[in-house]
Copies of this chain bind each other. A is one copy, B any other.
Amino acid sequence: MEKKVALKDVAQHIGVSVALVSYVLNGKEKEARVGADMANKIRKAAAELNYQPNLIAKSLKMGKTKTIGLIVADISNPFFSTIARIVEDEAKKHGYVVIFGSSDESAEKQLDLIDVFSTRLVDAFIIAPASGTEKQIETIVKRGIPVVLMDRFFPGLKVDCVHINNFNAAGKAVKQLIKNNRKRIGMVAYDTMQSHMQDRKQGYKAALKENSIRFKKQWLVEASYQNIEKDVAAKLKALLKPLQVDALFFATNSLAVAGLKEINKLGIKVPDDLAIISFDESDAFDFFYSPVTYVSQSLVDIGKEAVKLILNRLHNKSKKNADVIVEARLIVRESCGSKL
């Protein structure tokens, strides 16, 4: 094992003082009036010896680690891994690295991650908060650590957030189904109080009402995040055998993928027997025999805006809390029964 190369080693290698090396490698050669030749010589020696600055020691002095803690529901879900990739790229442009963690929508796991990341002095958090974690976010804010919520938020909590208008997006999807002559429209959602899910359910109900369709309780199928496959299969079977709806609106891509498997199993034909619209994207939607219509959230915008808000906070540029609404579009394809 080679010993880690220190400033001292670089200094000894060319016979100059440690202070001189430190000035040059920290970009302060002008202040210290080090000549260009000497500066180049020092840099060359540092590269040859494979000198690596110790950012941790620097962090302690400056109180900054240049690290962002990213907490999502599940990094293996394409929705979050795509956002993670964008956050990574944006953070890197500004010299930050990203630590990530998955909460599995559990308040306890989320708290655990916040604690672990805090002990590592992350400079800021980007969080898709689990249900009932308002106090956790409040505590981060009180500690003065910049935090941005994404995908979900807590009404009344003063914190930066970035998300789509879920009420409107859901309404748009349901109205498309109504336009295509569907009158008994069901919805498959998660049984959670999170803002994004509540807004999607309210948007669904409001669109029905606006079109004089009376919502029936049994049309709303709710699955638990921890038990998605089983819940969706059992509850959809009850709704679809016999067929009590002529359209289904899925609140997420995971719910839709689980639902489409059950729909195939039951031999129900999309869109003739049952029109389909989902939230979010999935490779599965492109390859389903009737390509699936979906609400496309701009993940690029969510990731970019989240990092932008964090940087504004870190540089003390913003005082008021920002509530950034990102675009969502309905991508209309065969599954919703439209004539294309």
Contact = CB atoms under 8 A, between A and B. Distances in A.
B55 A119 contact: yes
Interface string A53-65: 1111101100001
Interface residues of A, number: 53
A55 B97 contact: no
A143 B52 CA distance: 10
A292 to B, nearest CB: 9
A139 interface: yes
A282 interface: yes
A85 B74 contact: yes
Interface string A132-166: 00000001001110000000000000000000000
**This protein's copies in its complex:** 2
Max chain B C-beta neighbours (<10 A), residue from A85, A115, A117, A142: A85
A2 B145 CA distance: 10
Given A1-B144, A50-B139, A97 B76 contact: no
B75 A65 contact: no
Contacts of A282: 283
Contacts of A257: 283
B142 A2 contact: yes
A98 interface: yes
Contacts of A65: 56, 120
Contacts of A85: 74-76, 102
A261 interface: yes
Contacts of A193: none
Interface string A205-233: 00000000000000000000000000000
A117 B271 CA distance: 50
B56 A60 contact: yes
A54 B97 contact: no
A269 to B, nearest CB: 13
A286 B284 CA distance: 7
Interface in A213-262: 257, 260-261
A321 interface: no
Nearest to A139: B50
Interface string A63-83: 001010000001111100110
Interface of A: 1-2, 4, 50, 52-57, 59-60, 65, 67, 74-78, 81-82, 84-85, 88-89, 92, 97-102, 115-121, 139, 142-144, 257, 260-261, 282-284, 286-289
16 contacts: A4-B143, A50-B143, A53-B119, A54-B121, A65-B120, A67-B120, A74-B85, A75-B75, A75-B85, A76-B81, A76-B82, A84-B100, A100-B100, A260-B287, A283-B283, A287-B287
| 8 nearest A-B residue pairs (beta carbon) | A1-B144, A81-B81, A283-B284, A55-B119, A76-B85, A284-B287, A287-B287, A76-B82
